[in-house]
Structure 1
Amino acid sequence: MATTTQETPAARGAGTTGAPAAPAISLEGVGKVYRSGHGTITAVQRIDLEIQQGEFFSLLGPSGCGKTTTMRMIAGFEEPTSGTVRLAGRDVTGVPPNRRDVNMVFQSYALFPHMTVADNVAFGLRRRKVPAAEIRTRVAEMLELVELSDRARHKPTQLSGGQQQRVALARALVNRPSALLLDEPLGALDLKLRQAMQLELKRIQREVGITFVYVTHDQGEALTMSDRIAVMNKGVVEQLGTPAQIYETPATRFVAGFIGTSNILTGAVHGVADGHARIDYGDDQHVLAHADGAAPGVDLILTVRPEKIHLGVEKPNETLSRIHGTVREVVYLGSTTHYTVRTVDDTEIVVFQQNSSDASNLAERGDTVWLSWRPEHSYVLPG
């Protein structure tokens, strides 16, 4: 696959002058407003974003957040109301999709049912009148990459959903675009196959070495595959960072609640000691958190992830955050058990406990338990 990688702009990298390569994709103040008889709808609010060469980048957010509109503006299927779209440093605002060096893969694979797998992959090359010998070589390379060489003569109807998805991917990659845009391509697959394809997509992206931009509402997909993630909400990017940064240090309450499961706690600081702010909840309960600049009386909003919390019947050490409550729900999920605990102020806290071979259920519904976690696991949300 070396030839394929070397011939893409992403692989070429720096120019002959030795200057750093331009980002694969740049959005500068890009916004999109739709006009209707009832006024205007702002789908995307002036995004500034750079996606680097060879990066697996995800646009993540709920339905209606603007992620698909953003991708369609990159592809050229939508024109921005404001701002500039650049591909490898070139301004492509207003340039039609067929003249942009990107390809797009949709949730609907749109394979030609009357064509073989090989002919589906070769379709774009034939339209561009690429020599037949080169077509055969490039199609063979792509089918090997997606591990479908033995299905070259099959029709799409003879393939599984995951195999059809890989054919669509090969068809997009065979044109050697500088970036590949994927709009929720795994949405039609069942859970187990979707999880397997996540690893396949990451492997393929790593081997080909081009930029992938992935749109999804599935947090697990984004965390599994991405080098960086832009979390979108109501047309804006609420946070941009690596999967670990997004998960461990959410920038907003929305991000904390949208990425995985998070427990949100609030309260006023009662005191600060040893670098820890302390929020008292009465009855010997308190939460400790690192909070730079916190002072008594300041209100804090903090989050703690369910897997960071320990559940037990004994009162924990006072150097830990500790809250007691009543178990309301117990859900066994094989590798973990999920507990929902109602605290004395009617806050519900979710706890994930790993199931080990020598452990039985720690608590049953109706039991009174103590929850505890280390101060560094209480993350104070900015602002």
Structure 2
Amino acid sequence: MATDTPSPPPAAGPAITLVDVVKDFGGARDGAAVRGVSLSIAEGEFFSLLGPSGCGKTTTLRMIAGFEEPTSGRILLHDRDMVGVPADKRDINMVFQSYALFPHLSVADNVAFGLRRKRVPKAEIRERVEEILHTVELADKADRRPRRLSGGQQQRVALARALVNRPRALLLDEPLGALDLKLRQSMQLELKRIQREVGITFVYVTHDQAEALTMSDRIAVMNRGLVEQVGPPQEVYERPATAFVAGFIGTSNLIGGRLASVAQDTGTLDLGDGQRITVPLRGARQPGATVELTVRPEKITLTTGPTDAACRVRGTVREVVYLGTSTSYTVRTATGTEMTVFQPNDGTAAATPARGETVWLSWSAAHSYLLTASAAPAPAAPQPADRPAAGPGSLTPR
């Protein structure tokens, strides 16, 4: 049996902790790539860093891995400060979008490569390779060359090669980005299954919202080097903290107005044109304040006449798009706001209006969520280029 399995850390301690981490490459017009990020990732958690290109998620992952050093701040792996510790001295592995498999080696030899470099005994290598190939369901492909495997199978070989070293944490940088949609969706479920079976911490970088929602125990949404919100997928989707999170995670409707009145945990929002809706208040709000709320398209009911719902607005259908399982309606309200409504195509829709028809949109007040200001500043105005484009050896944060 293998004897070098690391002893588990205390259950109460986080696997990875970032404390006010900053990374400034210098010369950036819009500030540092990562600006004061603090995170605590639990042992055995599937944690995703989600955000658009340029938000700093990959740079954050590379700092955890040791490929980049923070400009300031602390990075703790199982309570040990890793700042200044080389990547090969950290008990973590990383999987990239590029599989980087050796084409002349078999699947088993690709997986065993790192163990042989560490001079692990042959019998133990054989045992560990067999074990991990069973976990990734490639035991019957052990003797094949990588070129005879599908893209998803090659990705599982790369994953097995990282996991066979039994790292305390595995970092994954958009590993499914090169796969087609159907295979990517299948691999999302496979990755979650494998993570559950091996029980180690996964830190996963992606720009794909559906991918993060499908696999993660928790998600950190990043924007322009800052973390806008951290929470379980359902919380981030159902109760976005900022307008950026609401707009980036799925489709969301943003409605602005003035708080006409406040009573305990509810308020009345004046939308203009005589329309008012009831909104739940989470935290102190003052009458007269200008606020913005979000409501998801699937939470809205579309009717051809008014309802008695506490939240209802009148509008005109501008566009109708059939999506298979649902139909998307774009409605311009009487106050000029464009809203999206998803209605299931299961025969339960209250109305199926055509373009140009007047309709009413209604929803439960519990499905409205008032937003706070974004953590990140607005983008700087574009400036003329004054330095050469990044070359093959450049490091560009994303």
Equivalent positions of 1:47-196 (< 5 A) are 47-196=37-186
Offset at residue 90 of structure 1 (A) = 1.1
Letter of the structure 2 residue corresponding to residue 145 of structure 1? T
Q: Deviations over 1:167-217 (max 9, x none)?
A: 100000000000000000000111111111111111100000000000011
Contact kept? 2:303, 2:351, Cα under 8 Å: no
Cα distance in 2 between the residues matched to 1:179 and 1:328? 49
Cα distance change of structure 1 residues 271 and 352 upon mapping to structure 2, 3 Å threshold: same
1:300 matched to 2:283? The reply is no
Structure 1 Cα separation of the partners of residues 298 and 51 of structure 2 = 23
Which consecutive residues of structure 1, in runs of 5 or more, have no partner in the other structure?
15-19
Quickly say closer, same or farther: Cα 1:32–1:353, change in 2 above 3 A.
same
Q: Which moved more, 1:250-259 or 1:270-279?
A: 270-279
Q: Find out whether 1:248 has 2:238 as its counterpart.
A: yes
Q: CA deviation at 1:346?
A: 2.0
Other-structure match for 1:380: 370
**Residue deviations 1:112-165 (CA, integer Å, cap 9, x gap):** 111111111111111111111111111111111011111111111111111111
- Corresponding residue for residue 9 of structure 2: 13
Deviations 1:286-309 (A, max 9, x none): 321012544542222111111110
- Change in 2 beyond 3 A, CA 1:357/1:154: farther
Question: Partners of 2:245 and 2:300 in 1: how far apart?
Answer: 20
Summarize deviations over 1:343-380 as a string: whole Å, max 9, x none: 12221101111121566971222222110001111111
SS where residue 137 of structure 1 aligns?
Answer: helix
Q: Decide which of 267, 291, 311 is 1:321's aligned counterpart.
A: 311
* Alignment correspondent of 1:27: 18
How far is the alpha carbon of 1:282 from its aligned partner? 5.5
From 330, 340, 349, the counterpart of 1:340: 330
What secondary structure does 2:24 align onto?
A: strand
What secondary structure, in the 3-state scheme, does the structure 1 residue paired with 2:134 have?
helix
Amino acid at match of 1:115: L
CA distance in 1, matches of 2:24, 2:365: 44
Q: TM-score, normalised by structure 1?
A: 0.92
Q: How far off is 1:270 after superposition?
A: 2.4
Q: Is 2:198 the counterpart of 1:201?
A: no
CA distance in 1, matches of 2:228, 2:124: 45
Given that 2:112 and 2:129 are in contact with CA atoms closer than 8 Å, whether structure 1 keeps it comes out as yes
Aligned-partner SS, 1:324: strand
In the alignment, the residues of structure 2 paired with residue 247 and residue 5 of structure 1 have an alpha-carbon distance, to the nearest angstrom, of: 43
Contact 2:303–2:350 at 8 Å: present in 1 too?
no
CA distance in 1, matches of 2:30, 2:319: 45
Aligned equivalents of 1:113, 1:313: Cα separation in 2? 62
Distance (Å, rounded) in 2 between the aligned partners of 1:357 and 1:283: 33
Task: Give the Å deviation of 1:284.
Answer: 5.9
CA-CA distance at 1:82 after TM superposition: 0.6
C-alpha distance in structure 2 between counterparts of 1:4 and 1:202, whole Å: 25
C-alpha spacing 1:357/1:70, structure 2 compared with 1 (3 Å): same
Cα 1:103–1:271 shift into 2, 3 Å: same
SS of residue in 2 equivalent to 1:171: helix
Shift of 1:13: 3.3
State the partner residue of 2:390: none
For the pair 1:238 / 2:196, whether they are aligned, the reply is no
Matched residue SS, 1:315: coil
Structure 2-normalised TM-score? 0.88
- RMSD of Structure 2 on Structure 1 (CA): 2.1
Change (3 A) 1:161 1:284: same
Give distance in 1, aligned partners of 2:265 and 2:90. Answer: 53
The percentage of counterpart residues that share the same residue type is 63
Question: Could you tell me how far 1:73 is from its partner in structure 2?
Answer: 0.4
CA distance in 2, matches of 1:204, 1:300: 44
User: How many residue pairs get matched?
Assistant: 372
1:248-274, CA deviations, whole angstroms, 9 ceiling, x for partnerless residues?
Answer: 221111111111111111111223468
